[in-house]
Amino acid sequence: MKIYAAGPLGFSEAGRLFYYDRLLPALTKAGHLVMDPWKLTDQGKIDAVLALPYGEPRREAWRELNAEIGATNRDGIDNCEGVVAVLDGVDVDSGTAAEIGYAFAKGKLIVGYRGDFRLAADNEGSTVNLQVEYFVRASGGTIAGSLDELLRALESIEHR
C-alpha cells in the first residue's frame, strides 16, 4: 500500500530519530511504499528562508513557502491509498489533524499510531480528540498502541 506518513516527528531531533530509524523502516519492511512529507519540499528552500534576517521579507518568504509545502502535502495525500498518522502528544498535532480530516474527506484509509501512554482524549470513551478518532475509525482504520500493532492493523486491512 502507498502510505502518506503524517505526524509532527520531523520537528524534533528525538522525533526524527524514531521516525527515520524505527517507523519508516518498519513500514517499508512490511512492504509499504511510504510518502514522507518531510522530504517532499527541497531543504534548500527552507534553508534559504531561514537564512533571511528577521523581518517582513522573511515573513513573506515563509508565507510563500508555507503555501507550497501545504499544496505539496495535499498532493502527497491525494497520491496515496492511505495515511499512517502519528497521534502522540498531549493533543494531536494540528497539522496532523488537518491531514487526517483531508484524507477522510478524500476517502483514504487512516490508521493512527499512538505510542504515547499519556491521557489525551476528550473523555474516557476515546483515545485522542473525538473528532480525530472518528475520522480514523470511520475511514476503516484503527488506532494502534505499538509499532507491531500498527503493522498488524495495516496487514489485516490490506487482506479484507
Report residue 47 as a C-alpha cell.
534553508
Instruction: Confirm whether 68 is domain-assigned.
Output: no
Instruction: Confirm whether 35 is domain-assigned.
Output: yes
Alpha helices per DSSP H over 10-146:
13-18, 24-29, 43-50, 56-78, 94-105, 130-138
> b/e string for 37-67 if b means 16 or more Cβ within 10 A?
bbeeeeeeeeeebeeeeeeeeeeebeeebee
DSSP state of 44: H
Q: What is the pLDDT of residues 43-93, one digit of tens each?
A: 999 999 999 999 999 999 999 999 999 999 999 999 999 999 999 999 999
- How far apart CA 41 and CA 125 sit, in angstroms, is 38
Residue 157 scores a pLDDT above 90: no
Instruction: Confirm whether 153 is domain-assigned.
Output: yes
φ/ψ of 34, rounded to 5, equals -100, 130
Average pLDDT value over all residues in the chain: 96
Note the pTM of the prediction, 2 decimals: 0.94
Q: 85: domain CATH number?
A: 3.40.50.450
Angle in degrees, 0-180, between the axes of helices 130-138 and 94-105, rounded to the nearest 10: 30
Instruction: Confirm whether 61 is domain-assigned.
Output: no
Residue 151's domain comprises 2-39+77-158
In total, how many domains does the chain have?
Answer: 1
